[in-house]
Amino acid sequence: MKILIAYYSKTGNTQFVAEKLAEELSKENTVEVKKIELKKPLGIFKGSWEAIRGKEPEILDLGISPADYDMVCIGCPIWAFNPHPAFNSIVSQCGSLSGIKTAVFATHGGQKKNALGKMVERVKDKGAEKVLYADFMVEDKEKTARKIESFAINLLSGF
């Protein structure tokens, strides 16, 4: 399988998850990892407001087409109980997810509310049928790594 992992990360936690997930999935698949970059940095206040409002800040074009992959995984941190707005931007930028195995993941500090549900809905709006998802609190990296391994197994067997 050809798998894309696209993620936004400001302080490294989501990057840790994306890279460990790539390591696990690449044992038997071809995995591309792409970091989402904002055109202008978003501070915590504007970023939180945009997260709450479901805004789509400008991001650099990743030039990705989901049709080139069998599976697409998109990850971001949770800000103000919502997906970081860069998540909205990448989902909006990529083409139809119909027929593509789609997964979303988020990292957070323990207060996720319905952020994962919103992420699932957004990719479903782009045509994703079944969506697998997971969230991670990156406090203890060893523990998180075990949880990422389970998520990878789920992704390879759960669609």
Ligand X SMILES: Cc1cc2nc3c(=O)[nH]c(=O)nc-3n(C[C@H](O)[C@H](O)[C@H](O)COP(=O)(O)O)c2cc1C
What residue ranges bind ligand X (CB under 6 A)? 9-15, 44, 47-48, 77-81, 107-112, 138
Q: Minimum distance between the CB of residue 99 and ligand X, rounded to whole angstroms?
A: 29
Q: Minimum distance between the CB of residue 131 and ligand X, rounded to whole angstroms?
A: 20
Nearer to ligand X, 59 or 78 (CB): 78
- Pairing status of strand 82-83 against strand 131-136: unpaired
Nearer to ligand X, 14 or 89 (CB): 14
Task: Give which of 84, 103, 83 is closest to 151, Cα–Cα.
Answer: 103
Q: Minimum distance between the CB of residue 108 and ligand X, rounded to whole angstroms?
A: 3
Q: Minimum distance between the CB of residue 109 and ligand X, rounded to whole angstroms?
A: 3
Nearer to ligand X, 66 or 77 (CB): 77
Nearer to ligand X, 56 or 70 (CB): 56
Q: Minimum distance between the CB of residue 50 and ligand X, rounded to whole angstroms?
A: 10
Half-sphere exposure of 46 toward its Cβ, with a 13 Å CA cutoff?
7
* Residues 124, 19: Cα–Cα separation, whole Å: 25
Nearer to ligand X, 29 or 48 (CB): 48
The amino acid sitting at 19 is: E
* Owner of token pair 């998180």: 144
Express the helix, strand and coil content of the chain in percent, nearest 5 each. Answer: 40, 25, 35
For Cα atoms 2, 85, 58, give the angle at the middle one, nearest 5 degrees: 85
